[in-house]
Every structure is written in C-alpha cells, then in structure tokens.
C-alpha cells in the first residue's frame, strides 16, 4: 500500500503566508519560504502553495516566490492560483514547481486539464475543488469560494479525472479553518468513485483527525495549514502518531 502523505498548505497573499476561517478573516502566519523549509526538515511529503487571490484579482501566480521556494526546499511542491493557460504552467514548472493546481480556470474550461496532461503529464495536474453541501448535493465554487456554480462535486471530480487530472484536491469549505475534522463521508464517496489520488483539505485540528481522514475518509493525502503554521502539531510528531496507529507514512530517519 502506498504511504499516506502529509502536505502542509501555504496560502499566500501579498508575499506572506496567511490563514483564515471559511476562506475569510485572514491572519499572517509567516514567511512562505522559511515555513516551507521548516516543514521539509520535519518530514513533510509535499507542500502546496496557493496564491489565494490571484483568480479573484485576475493576475498571474507569483513566479519569483516559486523560484525562491525551489532554491530552498528539497521536497515536491504544487503551485496554484491564477493559472489559466499552458504558458502559465510552463512558467511555473520552469521556475521550479513540481505540479500545478487548477480550480476556477478548469471549472470554466475543463479542456484545460487535458491540455496540461497532454503537454506536461497527468502527474503535473492537480485539480482543486472547493465545495460545500447545499440541500442534498455538494456544490462547487469559483474564485476562492466566492462564486457558486451548477457543478456537483462528485460529477465534476469524475469529469476532471476523465480529462486527465492526476489528483483531486478537495476542500470542504464549511470545514475550512474550524478544526472539527475533515469531511470524511464526502471524501470516502469521492475515493470510491475515482481511480486517482484524493487529497483531503479543510478541518484538521488534532492528530486524530488525520488518522480518521485516512481510515474513514479513505484519503490518499491530508492537507492542513493552521495546525502546522501556529505550532499546534508538528509534521514529525504527527507522522510518529500515525505510524503508532498502524497508518503507513514515510518517516525520515535522522
């Protein structure tokens, strides 16, 4: 069985790492390069850097920051925010990113997923989905959770896989930042429908939440932000806990 991955997420705004609740009420959490380097030292499997206002503000993702991250960090990292065309992908990969994440642009033009997969390989293309339950179905949102669409989470995730996505990064908007656990029922349903890895996002507050997202949510990877940024949980301590719970994780021996 493949090892479960722990992925710190760094939301970046105006050059600083920030974290909020339900995508709002942002507070600063530190320098994104220094934080990323520390998570790498602690044994994180990957990192995700998101330019959280790029799509909303209509600008390109932070190429210079990506170059700095690549120079200081020796684990794979994904970059997202404001990626609308192949030239954006090429620019970020050339700057040192290992994968790119598309969300709003893929919802607006699903063909972009296939274009990325054909030109750079499916393993490069992570499709991020921000969704929340409304009445009896999960609705996907655009522009950092600002605009509701008609897309259903499960149908859209399946369509993204069919277009060539290498992974799905699912954020439950209602769980974001509140630290009450991940949306395990929805995650397990996603995992049952897809043949590609599912990264869980939104809701990490305790080590037990990570255990539950792997056991109950069937996730392949767990992404978290504030519990790492503000020192509530260390990546190394979390991985030791998960190993003690019989969950297969990669631990870097010092």
What gap in Å lies between CA 132 and CA 106, rounded to an integer?
18
**Catalytic residue check, 130:** yes
Q: Are 182 and 204 in contact (CB under 8 A)?
A: yes
What gap in Å lies between CA 121 and CA 26, rounded to an integer?
34
With b for 16 or more beta-carbon neighbours within 10 A and e for fewer, the 211-245 pattern comes to bbbbeebbbbbbbbbbbbbeeebebbebbebbeee
SS (H, E, C) 133-159: EECCEEEEEECCCCEEEEEEHHHHHHH
Beta strands in 63-105 (DSSP E): 77-80, 99-102
**Catalytic residue check, 11:** yes
**Residues paired with residue 137 on neighbouring β-strands, in sequence order:** 134
Per annotation, catalytic residue among 45, 51, 88, 130:
130
Per annotation, catalytic residue among 11, 45, 51, 176:
11
Provide the 10 A C-beta neighbour count for residue 119. Answer: 12
Q: Measuring CA to CA, which residue among 39, 14, 18 is closest to residue 231?
A: 39
Q: Any idea which residues carry the catalytic annotation?
A: 11, 130
């Amino acid at each position: 069985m493949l090892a479960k991955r722990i992925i710190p997420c760094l939301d970046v705004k105006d050059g600083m790492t920030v974290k909020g609740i339900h995508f709002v009420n942002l507070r600063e959490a530190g320098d994104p390069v220094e934080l990323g380097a520390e998570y790498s030292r602690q044994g994180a499997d990957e990192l995700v850097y998101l330019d959280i206002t790029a799509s909303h503000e209509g600008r390109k993702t932070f190429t210079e920051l990506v170059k700095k991250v690549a120079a200081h960090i020796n684990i794979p990292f994904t970059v997202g925010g404001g990626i609308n065309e192949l030239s954006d992908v090429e620019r970020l990969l050339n700057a040192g990113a290992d994968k790119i994440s598309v969300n709003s642009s893929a919802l607006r033009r699903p063909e972009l997923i296939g274009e990325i997969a054909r030109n750079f390989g499916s393993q490069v293309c992570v499709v991020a989905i921000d969704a929340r339950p409304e009445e009896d179905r999960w609705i996907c949102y655009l522009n950092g959770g600002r605009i509701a669409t008609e897309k259903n989470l499960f149908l859209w995730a399946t369509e993204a896989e069919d277009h060539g996505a290498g992974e799905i990064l699912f954020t439950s908007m209602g769980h974001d930042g509140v630290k009450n656990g991940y949306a395990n029922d929805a995650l397990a349903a996603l995992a049952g429908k897809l043949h590609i890895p599912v990264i869980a996002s939104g809701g990490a507050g305790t080590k037990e939440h990570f255990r539950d997202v792997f056991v109950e949510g069937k996730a392949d990877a767990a992404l978290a932000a504030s519990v790492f940024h503000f020192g509530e949980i260390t990546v190394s301590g979390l991985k030791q806990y998960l190993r003690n719970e019989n969950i297969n994780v990669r631990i870097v021996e010092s």
